[in-house]
Amino acid sequence: MSTPPVKIAPSLLASDFVNLARDVARVEDCGADWLHVDVMDGHFVPNLTIGPPVVKALKKVARRPLDVHIMITNPETYAEQYVKAGADVLTCHLETKPEALGLIRKAGARAGLAVNPETDIAPVKDLLGEVDMVLVMSVHPGFGGQSFMPEVLSKIETLRSWGFEGDVEIDGGIAPDTIGDAAAAGANVFVAGSAIFGSGDWAATIHTMRETAEARLGVGA
């Protein structure tokens, strides 16, 4: 079974919102493959972030795909709006209403399905035909800067054991010292916020993370 290429997706939640366009350009120049955009509604998760107008503004300056993760209770209501705003990949949660997956694809984006740390991965198996990506959360969603939860790596291994050859993304506590184990489990898309934006050298951090992930995935071996 082949694994898709490694993609590093810096989480803009950790960027400087006062200088968002500047940080987007800079992190793209430093090697970002995707730009990860966290949408929180204050209901499904205990925090509020951005809506479609900000995604639309980001689309005007972004040169990389927008990987939009909607941590909201009613994704079926807003899926089309986020795709129209510019989401290239739009991920909703298994814990909400996964019927939004069909709406995401119909609207023209790649569909992702996210699973929280405490959620059983088993129900995802019946939905794999409707998704382009599965996002395994390695922290509890809602806040940045949390510690990596290695116990979720078995979910990634299970996904790959089912023969899923799409993208498997992992989000939460991903850094140079945790990305290797996540890659070894079968993840290929890595969301990192504070590990990149909080580092002194974004390019070096992204380069190190990519090299580590590719080595553990056996890319080029």
Task: Name the pLDDT band for 145 (thresholds 50, 70, 90).
Answer: low
| Element spanning 135, H or E | strand 133-137
Position 2 confidence tier, pLDDT thresholds 50, 70, 90: confident
Is residue 221 very low, low, confident or very high in pLDDT (cuts 50, 70, 90)?
very low
CA–CA distance, 73 with 89 (Å, rounded to integer): 18
Sequence-distant (6+) residues with CB within 8 A of 190 are 6, 7, 8, 9, 169, 170, 174, 179, 182, 183, 209, 213
pLDDT confidence bin for 220, thresholds 50/70/90: low
Active site residue 171: yes
The radius of gyration computed from the CA coordinates of the chain, to the nearest angstrom, equals 16
Q: Is 38 labeled as catalytic in the residue annotation?
A: yes
The pairing of strands 189-192 and 7-10 is parallel
pTM for this entry = 0.95
Q: Given the residues 23, 38, 132, 167, select the one marked as catalytic.
A: 38
Summary mean pLDDT of the chain: 94
Q: Using one digit for the tens of pLDDT, what is the confidence trace for 41-89?
A: 888 898 888 899 999 999 999 999 999 999 999 999 999 999 999 999 9
Between 137 and 43, residue with greater pLDDT: 137
- Of the residues 23, 41, 167, 171, which is catalytic? 171
